[in-house]
Structure 1
Amino acid sequence: MLNLLSIIFLILTLGSIVYYLYSLYSCHSFFSLENKINPDFSPPISILKPLWGLETNLEENLTSFINQNYPLYQIVFCVRDKDDPVIFLVEELIVKYSQQDLKLVVIDRVIGYNYKVSNLANGFPYCDYDLILIADSDIEVKKDYLSTIVQPLQDEKVGVVTCLYQSFADNYIGIIESLGVAYNFIPNVLTARQLEGINFAFGSSILIRKKVLEKIGNFQRIANSLADDFLLGNLPTKLGYQTVLVNYIVKHHIEKESFDNYFKRQIRWFRCIKVARFKGYLGMIFTFGIVNSFIFSIVLYFNVLSLSLLLITFFLKLILSYNIGFKYLKNITIKNYLGLVVVVDFMQFYIWLIALFGNKIKWKNSQFILNQKGELIFLK
């Protein structure tokens, strides 16, 4: 006979099975979309690149944005510290690609606790065009990037275009993170897209109309928000614009770091999600199917029913992870570490559980509290 605890985890396990099945459908639906390129639609684009320090693969990342098969675009490199070594790299790129419209802006003005947003705000006045592309410095793209992501903006109702990313790393912490992106993050996003559409964006790529950016209050509106990318996709939808997730995957290069820094960064990210979409955050419990079914098996002492559901859940999770990592992303690293799907599930569940309670975060050697609006309140 089932007790209350076993009933709870039975519901969670069955919910996870439904989620995995629906996620398989959602991923297939999204990756089946074809990117139709209209050669007559290529409005000029201003690319804002916030920079801080010399990151892994930085020169290749920046060069990939410089070398685009697109008729008219500019890149504004934004730096805060006049002694930042990244300035020398940018200056070299400006000389090397003198035929391109490249600008370096070094301004130390700070408008809030989010220094990246301050960087963007400082570079914004130097943008000449009506379309603004914001992309993090750890992103690498192909030459058809601009011509692909701009296409949804043919519809005037579309205010923002964003895209997914896959992560690459050559260290064990980075590999764990890249697996989390492929196994959990991408299916979560695509399931949410299928259920309710997209009302958020990702720092990997945010293409926004200048007039839309100005209508939401420009960068000053998000200067104290940690989830700046989320808000750049969310706030325009509240004004009636659409945010579109285009079927284009960019490369995200992960820096080598300690497990402690990785853990703190994941806590920050999860708590941002919790503040921004609390109901969705609670619903993430169904995405940890292996954890739910394993606990259910323990509660029922690994009887036939619990073991059967555990095997079904594990099998579905394996299929979902394999499809995303190998079939859709064609990422050999993800395929090689497919066996770590269980480890990733338990790690992400633990982070989710820790982030559920409390609103303190540590960011850049300072401590903050995230309020109900997702804004940073300085502690020390």
Structure 2
Amino acid sequence: MGYGLELIFAALAAAGCIYWVAAAFLVARYGQGRAVAAGDTPLTILKPLHGAEPGLAANLASFLDQDYGGPVQIVFGVQDPLDPAIAVVEDIVRTHPDHDIALVVDSRRYGSNPKVSNLVNMMSAAKADILVLADSDIRVEPDYLSQVVAALGRPGVGAVTCAYRSAPFEGPWSGLSGLAVDSHFLPGVVVGMACGLAEPCFGATIALRRKVLERIGGFQAFADILADDYAIGDAVRRLGLDVAVTPFVVTHMSNDATFGEMMSHEMRWAKTVAGLNRIGFAGTGLTHPVPLAILALLLGGSWHAGLLLVAALACRSLLLLSVARRFRLLQAPFWLLPLRDCLSFYVYLASFFPSGVSWRGSHFLVEADGTMAARRESE
């Protein structure tokens, strides 16, 4: 029995090694080119906020310091009148007096997803036809808006989104969290798009025209959905329009301060992905060759399993090197890969068991169809 299990885990680990080598090749070819694109169409940036997370001021300022030729309005939104993010926004207003900035403080809720409720409230202040939604932990380059608007202007495009790399803020947990993005999430996106298996739409950026948003039911249509970003992209595609993925990536600022915060964040993300496609998510077990090789070694103890573990570590290092070169990562902590991979494998396995998720201080139950419901105190 033990020998049979060793062979199964060894075969899965070997398949994972092949996957990571292919991913390293595809990542190296992923486009980072930025075409010259001048834009002057008025647009509104929507920034839903919750709390004064580390680096928030710099994140938000990067969306204002843009080389864009047209009028740019930015709308910040919070639901709690005591939210510390308000003070950050007030400082930005003082340091950017020539910018069109609005702050919406509105506690009204329309469903279980607090971010979507925030967006619904913020729309009352939005002026422009082009809407650019981006999460609060995203930081961008000065040509970001020009590139996004140029992509949105292509024939047949209904929305634009961006993949993202990480930039750990500080501390070991934010570093481990960022490593999951760079060594697992981002290569998976690249492989999925290259193979035609992924149709992404990320909260890191969703740009679309107001009339398209109205045709998919407005933000209210997604008020009870955990994966609101994916659902928006899916709704746009069902109109017969494309969701364009830019050839460049934006930067996600990983700011998990504790082990608990990191695991809660990753569990929510895993349950989100699993809820979108359980069969496909189950297949991503192959993307964990290091823990699979460790299990094969523990079960059999053969030198073949030991050699496979060395090969798995080499393939993971090759992939991270490819990501670091292509996406200009400042640090590539190769020595953390074994720990990172074991933690990711644990999250993968745990996501199959029923439980709630925590999101910005609130706790929710996630139904099989991806809808959310607030967890009762007794639960």
Instruction: Decide: shared fold, TM above 0.5.
Output: yes
> Shift of residue 126 of structure 1?
2.1
Of 328, 338, 343 in structure 1, the residue corresponding to residue 334 of structure 2 is 338
In structure 2, runs of 5+ residues without a counterpart are none
Q: Whole-Å Cα distance in 2 between the matches of residues 203 and 151 of structure 1?
A: 19
Q: Whole-Å Cα distance in 2 between the matches of residues 279 and 354 of structure 1?
A: 16
Seq. identity, %:
29
> Do the aligned partners of 1:226 and 1:376 also contact (CA within 8 Å) in 2?
yes
Say whether residues 1:53 and 2:51 are aligned partners. Answer: yes
Listed one character per residue, the Cα deviations across residues 144-188 of structure 1 (whole Å, up to 9, x for unaligned) are 111122222222311221112223221111111011111111111
Partner-residue secondary structure (3-state), 1:332: coil
Higher-RCO chain (CA-CA 8 Å, sequence separation at least 6)? 2
Partner-residue secondary structure (3-state), 1:247: coil
Pair 4,42 (structure 1): closer, same or farther in 2 beyond 3 Å: farther
Give 2:246's aligned residue.
246
Pair 360,89 (structure 1): closer, same or farther in 2 beyond 3 Å: closer
Say whether residues 1:229 and 2:225 are aligned partners. Answer: no
- Partner amino acid, structure 2, of 1:265: H
> Do the aligned partners of 2:52 and 2:85 also contact (CA within 8 Å) in 1?
yes
> Shift of residue 63 of structure 1?
1.3
Of 331, 341, 348 in structure 1, the residue corresponding to residue 344 of structure 2 is 348
More divergent stretch after superposition (169-178 vs 292-301):
292-301
Q: For 1:58-73, list aligned pairs within 5 A.
A: 58-72=56-70, 73=72
Pair 239,25 (structure 1): closer, same or farther in 2 beyond 3 Å: farther
Q: Whole-Å Cα distance in 2 between the matches of residues 100 and 62 of structure 1?
A: 13
How many pairs are equivalent? 374
Q: Whole-Å Cα distance in 2 between the matches of residues 364 and 48 of structure 1?
A: 19
Give 2:276's aligned residue.
276
Listed one character per residue, the Cα deviations across residues 220-265 of structure 1 (whole Å, up to 9, x for unaligned) are 1111122222222222123222122212222222335221222122
> Do the aligned partners of 1:164 and 1:250 also contact (CA within 8 Å) in 2?
yes
> Do the aligned partners of 1:200 and 1:231 also contact (CA within 8 Å) in 2?
no
Give 2:10's aligned residue.
10
Give 2:28's aligned residue.
28
Q: For 1:227-376, list aligned pairs within 5 A.
A: 227-303=227-303, 305-325=304-324, 327-333=325-331, 335=332, 337-376=333-372
Say whether residues 1:44 and 2:42 are aligned partners. Answer: yes
> Shift of residue 311 of structure 1?
2.3
> Shift of residue 377 of structure 1?
2.1
Partner-residue secondary structure (3-state), 1:290: helix
Q: Whole-Å Cα distance in 1 between the matches of residues 372 and 6 of structure 2?
A: 39
> Do the aligned partners of 2:2 and 2:299 also contact (CA within 8 Å) in 1?
no
Give 1:168's aligned residue.
168
> Do the aligned partners of 1:45 and 1:74 also contact (CA within 8 Å) in 2?
yes
Q: Whole-Å Cα distance in 2 between the matches of residues 249 and 204 of structure 1?
A: 9
Partner-residue secondary structure (3-state), 1:62: helix
Q: Whole-Å Cα distance in 2 between the matches of residues 321 and 173 of structure 1?
A: 18
Q: Whole-Å Cα distance in 1 between the matches of residues 104 and 2 of structure 2?
A: 65
> Do the aligned partners of 1:174 and 1:256 also contact (CA within 8 Å) in 2?
yes
Pair 85,357 (structure 1): closer, same or farther in 2 beyond 3 Å: closer
> Shift of residue 212 of structure 1?
2.1
> Do the aligned partners of 1:17 and 1:316 also contact (CA within 8 Å) in 2?
yes
More divergent stretch after superposition (82-91 vs 133-142):
82-91
Q: Whole-Å Cα distance in 2 between the matches of residues 250 and 365 of structure 1?
A: 26
Give 2:100's aligned residue.
101
> Do the aligned partners of 1:201 and 1:229 also contact (CA within 8 Å) in 2?
yes
> Shift of residue 122 of structure 1?
0.8
Q: Whole-Å Cα distance in 2 between the matches of residues 28 and 317 of structure 1?
A: 14
Q: Whole-Å Cα distance in 1 between the matches of residues 126 and 155 of structure 2?
A: 21
> Do the aligned partners of 1:359 and 1:371 also contact (CA within 8 Å) in 2?
no
Q: Whole-Å Cα distance in 1 between the matches of residues 309 and 53 of structure 2?
A: 42
TM, length-normalised to structure 1 = 0.92
Pair 86,98 (structure 1): closer, same or farther in 2 beyond 3 Å: same
Q: Whole-Å Cα distance in 2 between the matches of residues 19 and 317 of structure 1?
A: 10
Q: Which runs of 4+ in 1 moved over 6 A?
A: none
Give 1:377's aligned residue.
373
Partner-residue secondary structure (3-state), 1:102: strand
> Shift of residue 42 of structure 1?
4.2
Give 2:81's aligned residue.
82
**RMSD over aligned Cα atoms:** 2.1
Pair 93,2 (structure 1): closer, same or farther in 2 beyond 3 Å: closer
Q: For 1:127-276, list aligned pairs within 5 A.
A: 127-165=126-164, 166-196=166-196, 198-276=198-276
Pair 133,19 (structure 1): closer, same or farther in 2 beyond 3 Å: same
> Shift of residue 318 of structure 1?
0.7
Q: Whole-Å Cα distance in 2 between the matches of residues 44 and 318 of structure 1?
A: 44
Pair 172,192 (structure 1): closer, same or farther in 2 beyond 3 Å: same
> Do the aligned partners of 2:21 and 2:318 also contact (CA within 8 Å) in 1?
no
> Shift of residue 33 of structure 1?
4.7
> Do the aligned partners of 1:42 and 1:150 also contact (CA within 8 Å) in 2?
no
More divergent stretch after superposition (364-373 vs 183-192):
364-373
> Shift of residue 297 of structure 1?
2.7
Partner-residue secondary structure (3-state), 1:168: coil
> Do the aligned partners of 1:152 and 1:244 also contact (CA within 8 Å) in 2?
yes
In structure 1, runs of 5+ residues without a counterpart are none
TM, length-normalised to structure 2 = 0.92
> Do the aligned partners of 1:160 and 1:208 also contact (CA within 8 Å) in 2?
yes
